[in-house]
């Protein structure tokens, strides 16, 4: 599941980047700091609470996906067994083996697409929560910078090495938790992630421009002899 993978990845980043140390309390030198925004988001209270709530809220979809996965595996098991047996005979029929393999592939791909469709509400919920937190991240970063008198914040993933005195993660996290202690788990009906909304807006704008450009030509009367 993509949602579980994304959650695990964010959690692993957070553990490594947010864990406070004694050096964190040291003053940052020369107004420069480093931060890891994905780690801050993953460590935020809003994100952690949403990760706890989602399996409960979307239990019907998770149960349905697990049941369908079990059905698909049961459907594939005899087909895979037959393919393995047919491939071990003295003179295997290559065309038949290829046909069996393609059938298995089609069932697997169709099953994965079906399960992803079932779990789509969970993926949308994940993106909805991340977007809500992300909308507050810049303000939280600025608030932490102002308190620490920081003028430049670098992405810690792009820095080869830096002491913990430069790490601003914990300060940003504290501000973020104040600004958004919790997030809405279920998106409104018809909600789409920002990237898709922007794509739709661009497509609509392009369509309007095309219609506006075509309008004068349509209004122009044909010249007679």
Contacts with 150 (C-beta within 8 Å, 6 or more apart), sequence order: 28, 31, 32, 33, 144, 168
pLDDT tens column, 139-169 = 999 999 999 999 999 999 999 988 899 999 9
Whole-structure pTM over 0.85, yes or no? Answer: no
- Looking at residue 218, its pLDDT comes to 59
Q: Does the pLDDT value for residue 25 go beyond 90? A: no
- The answer to whether residues 68 and 111 touch, using CB atoms and an 8 Å cutoff, is yes
Strand pairing report for 152-155 and 32-35: parallel
User: What mean pLDDT is predicted for residues 39-68?
Assistant: 98
Q: Does the pLDDT value for residue 85 go beyond 50? A: yes
- Looking at residue 8, its pLDDT comes to 47
- The answer to whether residues 191 and 124 touch, using CB atoms and an 8 Å cutoff, is yes
Q: Does the pLDDT value for residue 16 go beyond 60? A: no
User: What mean pLDDT is predicted for residues 59-68?
Assistant: 98
- Looking at residue 17, its pLDDT comes to 53
- Looking at residue 217, its pLDDT comes to 59
Q: Tell me the three state secondary structure of residue 210.
A: helix
Compute the mean pLDDT over every residue in the chain, rounded to the nearest whole number: 87
- Looking at residue 208, its pLDDT comes to 83
């Amino acid at each position: 599941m993509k949602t579980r993978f994304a959650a695990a990845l964010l959690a692993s980043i957070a553990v490594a980047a947010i864990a406070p140390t004694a050096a964190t309390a040291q003053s940052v030198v020369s107004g420069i700091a480093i931060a890891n925004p994905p780690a801050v988001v993953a460590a935020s209270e809003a994100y952690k609470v949403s990760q706890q709530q989602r399996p409960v809220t979307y239990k019907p979809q998770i149960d349905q996906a697990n049941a369908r996965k079990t059905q698909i595996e049961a459907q594939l098991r005899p087909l895979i067994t037959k393919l393995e047996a047919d491939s071990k005979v003295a003179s295997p029929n290559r065309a038949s083996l290829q046909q069996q393999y393609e059938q298995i592939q089609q069932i697997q791909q169709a099953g994965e697409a079906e399960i992803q469709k079932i779990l789509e509400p969970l993926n949308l919920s994940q993106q909805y929560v991340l977007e809500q937190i992300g909308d507050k991240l810049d303000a939280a970063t600025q608030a932490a910078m102002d308190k620490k008198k920081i003028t430049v914040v670098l992405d810690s993933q792009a820095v080869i090495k830096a002491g913990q005195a430069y790490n601003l993660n914990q300060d940003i996290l504290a501000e973020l938790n104040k600004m958004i202690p919790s997030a809405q788990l279920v998106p409104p009906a018809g909600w789409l992630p920002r990237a898709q909304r922007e794509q739709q807006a661009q497509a609509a704008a392009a369509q309007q421009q095309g219609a506006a450009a075509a309008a004068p030509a349509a209004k122009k009367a044909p010249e007679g002899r």
